[in-house]
Amino acid sequence: MAEIKFEIKETFGTLSQSSKGWNKELTLISWNGKEPKYDLRDWAPEHEKMGKGVTLTADELKKLRDLLNNLDI
């Protein structure tokens, strides 16, 4: 399996932390040297391991924001 390279450009915040110390974070990240995208996933301390997540373009993130703003919660 090919190695996945990533560079976290900016961390916007942590949504939650698991009992094992993993953080669910929203970041701006470049995967394999490509244009950075917004990313929401679980990270081990020091970002040495990652869980499955969702990667979004700026337009997709804006649409998600609009959808969330319209929720009645």
Mean pLDDT of each 10-residue bin along the chain, 73 residues long: 90 96 98 97 95 97 97 91
Q: Residue 65: what pLDDT?
A: 96
- Which domains does the chain carry? 6-69 (2.30.31.70)
Q: Residue 2: what pLDDT?
A: 78
Q: Which residues of 30-44 are buried (b: 16+ CB within 10 A; e: fewer)?
A: eeeeeebbbbbbbbe
Q: Residue 15: what pLDDT?
A: 97
- Element of type H or E holding 49: none
Task: Quote the pTM value.
Answer: 0.89
Q: Residue 27: what pLDDT?
A: 98
* Cβ-based neighbour number of residue 71 at 10 Å: 6
